Amino acid sequence: EAGVAQSPRYKIIEKRQSVAFWCNPISGHATLYWYQQILGQGPKLLIQFQNNGVVDDSQLPKDRFSAERLKGVDSTLKIQPAKLEDSAVYLCASSLGRGRGVGTDTQYFGPGTRLTVL
């Protein structure tokens, strides 16, 4: 079974530029997550989709970050404009999404995109 795919793996941009990341979840997984992991810290959830609807985006900096999930499958995360503090690894994860409140779904993570903002 193919895992979660992400691209690109690495990206270097200058501040105030725009950048987009792509994620293809495991086939059949209804729930998709984007996390931001700053060096030396644990991942922080940015946004959670259930199919193509947003479940939680409370920690997404909406003035510069946006995300969409096309037809409930692939997803893109965009930053516009980027700031120095956005340098991090952006992780995408997916899970079966068997129902809210069950709390037993295993999340499967992609390899991440390492973003460096200069």
Partner 1 sequence: SQQGEEDPQALSIQEGENATMNCSYKTSINNLQWYRQNSGRGLVHLILIRSNEREKHSGRLRVTLDTSKKSSSLLITASRAADTASYFCATDTGFQKLVFGTGTRLLVSP
CA–CA distance, 53 with 56 (Å, rounded to integer): 9
Q: Which of 31, 32, 65, 75 binds partner 1 (CB under 8 A)?
A: 31
**Of 31, 54, 41, whose CA–CA distance to 107 is shortest?**
31
Long-range interactions of 40-46: CB distance < 8 A, separation 24+: 43/91, 46/77
**Per-residue binding letters, 46-85, with partner 1 (x by CB under 8 A):** --x------xx-----------------------------
* Smallest gap from residue 4 Cβ to partner 1 (A): 8
Residue 1 as a binder of partner 1 (CB under 8 A): the answer is: no
Looking at the DSSP bridge assignments, the partners of residue 91 are 35
List CB contacts of 55: < 8 A, sequence separation 6 or more. Answer: 31, 48, 49, 100
22 touches partner 1 by CB under 8 A: no
* Site stretch for partner 1 (CB under 8 A), options 15-23, 42-50, 63-71, 74-82: 42-50
Residues lying near partner 1 in the complex (CB under 8 A) are found at 4, 31, 33, 41-45, 48, 55-56, 91, 93, 95, 97, 100-112
